[in-house]
């Protein structure tokens, strides 16, 4: 079972990917994690990727797919995997499809966690992080006992720059332009499934389980 997770930043697709991974015993393959692992281990692919990253450039699609295929060729992926954070664009999806076809393989499900922009902005701008221990909270969904103070270590909480409404809006604009077209792309291939991401995360997960059943 090869699954791709789709959804806007803050839609909760990473959380769902982890839950799918745990329930079905499938590796949760995050492109960010793979890059970091290859660079840390000094692999040839990692060294190549690092050159682009050090120059402040995006890693080319072909190299990203090479690194990804290297990861999914490992034994733990033989029964499938959950892809999180890739593909982000139509060209990336095309390169991935071509590479999988050459291996006699294909994507089984592309699951889109659908959340309106307004919900995402409210959700992310309510996040708070502890400057000392890194614990995260939410002013509505996971508040602290004392407002603005970390339950774990008593330090001050902050709204990270990444979670500020203007930053979230900018990230959503990029998503709509570059990544949202993947929804139609996978729909045409007959593998797209959509779930309502505005409900409780366990309800979202139950919807995904019924799709995969």
Active site members: 13, 88, 127, 160, 171
Secondary structure element (H or E) that encloses residue 100, with its range: helix 90-102
Listed in sequence order, the DSSP H helices in 104-180 are 117-125, 165-174
Cis peptide before 196 (omega within 30 of 0): no
Cβ burial 119-158 (10 Å sphere, 16+ → b, else e): ebbebbbbbbbbeeeebebeeeeeebeeeeebeeeeeebe
Query: Is the distance from CB of 20 to CB of 27 less than 8 angstroms?
Result: no
Measure the CA–CA gap between 164 and 127, rounded to whole angstroms. 9
* Dihedral of the alpha carbons of 207, 68, 59, 110, in degrees to the nearest 10: -20
β-pair partners for 113: 195
Query: Which residues, other chains included, contact 129 with Cβ-Cβ below 8 Å and sequence gap of 6+?
Result: 135, 136, 137, 157, 158, 159, 160
Measure the CA–CA gap between 74 and 77, rounded to whole angstroms. 6
């Amino acid at each position: 079972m090869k699954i791709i997770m789709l959804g806007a930043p803050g839609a909760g697709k990473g959380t769902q990917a982890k839950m799918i991974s745990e329930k079905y015993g499938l590796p949760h393959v995050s492109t960010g994690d793979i890059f970091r692992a290859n660079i840390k281990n000094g692999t040839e692919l990692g060294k190549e990727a690092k050159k682009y990253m050090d120059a402040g450039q995006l890693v080319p699609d072909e190299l990203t797919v090479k690194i990804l295929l290297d990861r999914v060729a490992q034994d733990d992926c033989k029964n499938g995997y959950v892809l999180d954070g890739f593909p982000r664009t139509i060209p990336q999806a095309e390169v991935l499809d071509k590479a999988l076809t050459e291996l006699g393989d294909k994507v089984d499900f592309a699951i889109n966690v659908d959340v309106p922009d307004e919900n995402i902005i409210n959700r992310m701008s309510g996040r708070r992080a502890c400057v000392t221990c890194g614990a995260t909270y939410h002013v509505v969904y996971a508040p602290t006992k004392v407002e603005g103070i970390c339950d774990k270590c008593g330090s001050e909480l902050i709204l990270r720059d990444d979670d500020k409404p203007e930053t979230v809006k900018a990230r959503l604009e990029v998503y709509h332009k570059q990544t949202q077209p993947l929804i139609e792309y996978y729909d045409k291939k007959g593998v797209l499934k959509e779930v309502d991401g505005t409900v409780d995360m366990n309800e979202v997960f139950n919807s995904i389980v019924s799709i995969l059943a």
